[in-house]
Amino acid sequence: MKIRKKKLIEWGIIIMVISILYFTGLHREVIGNLQQGVLVTGLIQPDVIDNNDRGKELLTGELILEAADGKPVSLSDMQNKALFINFWATWCPPCIAEMPGINDLYNETVDDDVAFLMISTDKDFNKAKDFVSRKGFDFPIYRLRSSIPFALQSRVLPLPISWQKMVK
């Protein structure tokens, strides 16, 4: 009888913790941090698409973005730069897991000819801005102001893409 009561108490505590994490929205960050721990071990490496043909196709359509300060940005502003494009969201645990590594890469290449386009897919851009500020990330974030060119369309997040120099 004591064992059964002890097990019920343990399960009650586990269910309560899971419920609190879920209903407060913290479960995404917890899962993201767990995935970040797995990425740090090096056992799993994220895929990165490195394909200049897709980059040339991207230049045929215009991608208009809005920076966190409200200013419009287009890919034509990025000529002669290597691009790092990442579609992400605050509700995406793998996105959260990879962001510290992306921030480190950004800080290592900040003086190089590399443009980081961290494109938030959150419906509320303020939520994305608050998230980046709270986490202390240095890279700039953007949101879409045009349709996504065919070369960038995907059904998964995060979607990291890199190209060498973007020249017409």
Average pLDDT over residues 116-120: 90
pLDDT surpasses 80 at 93 = yes
DSSP secondary structure string for all residues of the chain: -HHHHHHHHHHHHHHHHHHHHHHHTTHHHHHHHHHHHHHHHTSS----EE-HHHHHHHHTS--EEEETTS-EEEGGGGTTSEEEEEEE-TT-HHHHHHHHHHHHHHHHHTTSSEEEEEEE--S-HHHHHHHHHHHT--S-EEEESSPPPGGG--SSS-EEEEEEE---
**pLDDT single digits (tens) 1-40:** 788 888 888 888 988 888 887 787 777 777 777 777 776 7
Task: Give the closest residue to 120 by CA, choosing from 81, 77, 157, 155.
Answer: 157
Q: Is residue 151 predicted with pLDDT exceeding 90?
A: no
pLDDT per residue over 48-81, tens digit each? Answer: 555 555 555 555 556 788 899 999 988 777 777 8
Pairing verdict, β 82-88 and 159-165: antiparallel
CATH of 49-165, one of 1.10.3720.10, 3.40.50.10790, 3.30.70.20, 3.40.30.10: 3.40.30.10
Domain spans, the chain: 2-41, 49-165
